[in-house]
Amino acid sequence: MKAGRKDKHVDLEKRVFDIKNERMPGGAWWWWFWLFFFDNPKDPSKPRQLMILWSAKNVKKINCNNLDISVKLPLDKGNLDGAVATWYFDGERMHHNFLLEQCNIKVNDKGLISESGTPTSFSINGKRSVIRIGDKFEFVAIENASHDFRKACYHNRNFIGNKGYSIMKVNHADLTGSVNGEKINGSAYFQRVFVNAPAIPWYWGIFHFDRGAVMTYTNHMVLGKSIRKDISLFDGKEVHKFDRIKVKRSGEALPTFRVTGENEQERISFSVVSYAHSSWTFRKKSRGVIPNKLVYNEYPATIADIELEDKASGTKITSKELGKAIGNAEHATGMLF
């Protein structure tokens, strides 16, 4: 089994809002991104989900879902001229553009606040993160990691020269809180990303299993060729990594993604079955004949037919051992310079 990329563990409270000393070249992009998966008593097979994103891009103008975002440059890192965006699947219906607004994002060492029509905030105290959206949504995400794969970590990658990205993330956090006065329980995923490169097509997914396993997969592509791809499955005890993977999409509005991977010792396969969909379409003024457009699709989804096989012994791990899984799959198309 190949070890693959080595993540560095970080104290998220100390680093996630510390952006004052980071360079912000033209075109670069910051965002803070949370996914919340929580119970749906009306239909447990389709858990509720909410995504919230605070972002700032160092460009004068960009369009997102027909909202023109005109930015005052240079950016003030303590008072970012950016945007807040949210979609919400309430268990029955997807609310697109639940929030989509250009606004100031005030950032300090302990948190951020958006000065938007519906105020939002994100703060950290130790291992406890609190995210509020107006007065009807409060999410409390707590790092409760017994294994390195579930702890806050950091890595960066350059594609060409200094063009690349860095990411801080928590693959799994315990979730409590309230939605419209109702107490909720579930799990959460977090990432803070800094990108200094064109946004290129990708497949990505994060999934939480009800017996403690966590799985992620990634496939970034340029002109149809993968430049970074991997699957990581934490089975509750150890991590299985694969860098020879394939992702195949079938279906239109609510697709299924068939994902397979292999390393020297093991092979893995599973289906990602989506049950809802939201998307963000980004446009910038084109230079020359190359279209400057990225469509960023997100799909609340479950896992089916998972099978992890040891090649030598034939031993298999399936959903019988891992349990049910809930998560989100992304499929982005186009390119944004």
The string of pLDDT tens digits covering residues 91-101 is 999 999 999 99
CB 31 within 8 A of CB 76: no
pLDDT of residue 41 exceeding 90: yes
Residue 3: its pLDDT value, please? 39
Q: Are 45 and 190 in contact (CB under 8 A)?
A: no
| pLDDT of 31 above 80 | yes
**What pLDDT was estimated at residue 288?**
66
Note the residue count of the chain. 337
Mean pLDDT of 216-221: 93
Contact residues for 35 (Cβ-Cβ < 8 A; gap 6+): 49, 50, 51, 188, 189, 190, 206, 328
In CATH, what number does 198-337 get? 2.40.370
- pLDDT surpasses 60 at 46: yes
Q: Contact 65/281 with Cβ under 8 angstroms?
A: yes
Q: pLDDT for 221-271, tens place per residue?
A: 887 778 889 999 999 999 999 999 999 999 999 999 999 999 999 999 999
Q: For strand 256-262 and strand 266-274, is the pairing parallel, antiparallel, or unpaired?
A: antiparallel
Q: Where are the domains of the chain?
A: 1-197, 198-337
174-210 tens-digit pLDDT:
999 999 999 999 999 999 999 988 888 999 999 999 9
Angstrom distances, CA of residue 319 to CA of 286, 303, 307: 46, 9, 8
User: Residue 289: pLDDT above 70?
Assistant: no
List pLDDT tens digits, range 115-161. 999 999 999 999 999 999 999 999 999 999 889 999 999 998 877 76
C-alpha distances out from residue 282 to 52, 72, 205, Å: 17, 19, 20
Per mean pLDDT, which range of 27-31, 84-88, 136-140 is the poorest? 27-31
Amino acid residing at 330? E
Confidence of residue 286 (pLDDT cuts 50, 70, 90): confident
pLDDT tier at 90 (50, 70, 90 boundaries)? Answer: very high
Identical topology for domains 1-197 and 198-337: yes
From 3.40.50, 1.10.150, 2.40.370, 1.10.3470, which CATH number describes the 1-197 domain? 2.40.370
**Per-residue pLDDT, 265:** 97
